[in-house]
Amino acid sequence: MSDFRHKRKRSGTSMMLFREKEIISVDSETGGTEEFVIIDIISLTEEKFVMVVEAKRSNLGSAMKQLLLAMKDTWDINGQGTVYGFTTTGDSWQMVIYDGSTFEVTEDFKVMFPPMEALIEGRLGVRDYIRYRSVQRQSHPPTWNTMGDDNNLKKRKSKWTTSYPNMTIAQAEERLGFRIRSLKGIPVQRMLANANEGESPDAILTTKEKVYDHILEYLQIEGYPTEGDPDFKESNINHLVYATISPILRDFICKTGRVTVQLRSEKEIVSTDGETGGTEEFAVLDLISVKQERFILIVEARRSSLGQAMKQCLLAMKAMRDSNGEGKVYGFVTTGEQWQMLEYDGTSFRKTNIMIVVFDSMDDEKEKWLKENSILVDCIKFALSNGGLKADSGSGIM
Residue 396 located in a structural domain? no
The pTM score is 0.69
How far is the C-alpha of 221 from the C-alpha of 216, rounded, in Å?
9
Whether 245 and 314 map to the same domain: the answer is yes
Whether 169 and 279 map to the same domain: the answer is yes
Q: Could you list the residue range(s) of the whole structural domain that residue 359 is in?
A: 162-386
CATH code, 100? 3.90.1570
User: What residues of the chain score a pLDDT lower than 70?
Assistant: 1-13, 44, 58-60, 109-158, 197, 227-231, 390-398
Domain closes at, from 106, 126, 152: 152
Cα angle at 199 between 195 and 204, to 5 degrees? 95
What is the pLDDT at residue 39?
A: 79
> 154: exposed, middle or buried (C-beta count within 10 Å: 0-12, 13-18, 19+)?
exposed
Measured between alpha carbons, how far apart are the two ends of the chain, in Å? Answer: 37
Per-residue model confidence as pLDDT tens digits over 195-230 = 776 788 899 999 999 999 999 999 888 888 776 666
Per-residue model confidence as pLDDT tens digits over 319-359 = 999 999 999 999 999 988 999 999 999 999 999 999 999 99
Whether 132 and 171 map to the same domain: the answer is no
What's the domain count of the chain? 2
Question: Residue 1's closest CA among 211, 214, 222?
Answer: 222
Domain closes at, from 152, 176, 203: 152
What is the pLDDT at residue 56?
A: 77
CATH code, 208? 3.90.1570.30
What is the pLDDT at residue 286?
A: 92
Residue 393 located in a structural domain? no
What is the pLDDT at residue 138?
A: 36
Whether 140 and 174 map to the same domain: the answer is no
- What is the identity of the amino acid at 37? V
